Amino acid sequence: MSDIDNLKAAEPEYRVAAAASRLANTVLGAVAAAILFAMMAVTAIDVFGRYLFNSPLQGSYELTQLLMVSLLFAALPSVTRRGEHITVGLFENVFTGWGRAARDGIIAIVVAVCSAYLAWRIYVLAGRFSAFGDTTATARIPIAPFAYGGAAAMALCALAGLLQTIEALISPLRARQP
How do residues 126-175 score in pLDDT, each as one tens digit?
Answer: 999 999 999 999 899 999 999 999 999 999 999 999 988 888 888 777 66
Question: For residue 146, what pLDDT is reported?
Answer: 96
Q: What b/e readout covers 141-161, taking b as 16+ CB neighbours within 10 angstroms? A: eebbebbbbbbbbbbbbbbbb
Question: For residue 174, what pLDDT is reported?
Answer: 66
Q: How far apart are CA 161 and CA 93, in angstroms?
A: 23
Residue 135: strand pairing partners: 142
Question: For residue 175, what pLDDT is reported?
Answer: 62
Higher-confidence residue: 60 or 17? 60
**Count of domains in the chain?**
1
Question: For residue 1, what pLDDT is reported?
Answer: 39
How do residues 24-80 score in pLDDT, each as one tens digit?
Answer: 889 999 999 999 999 999 999 999 999 999 888 888 999 999 999 999 999 999 998
> What does residue 142 show for φ and ψ, rounded to 5 degrees?
-60, 140
How do residues 98-131 score in pLDDT, each as one tens digit?
Answer: 888 888 889 899 999 999 999 999 999 999 999 9
Q: Which domain holds residue 170?
A: 3-176
Q: How far apart are CA 124 and CA 129, in angstroms?
A: 9
Residue 142: strand pairing partners: 135
- What are the C-alpha distances in Å from 69 to residues 31, 39, 51? 13, 11, 27
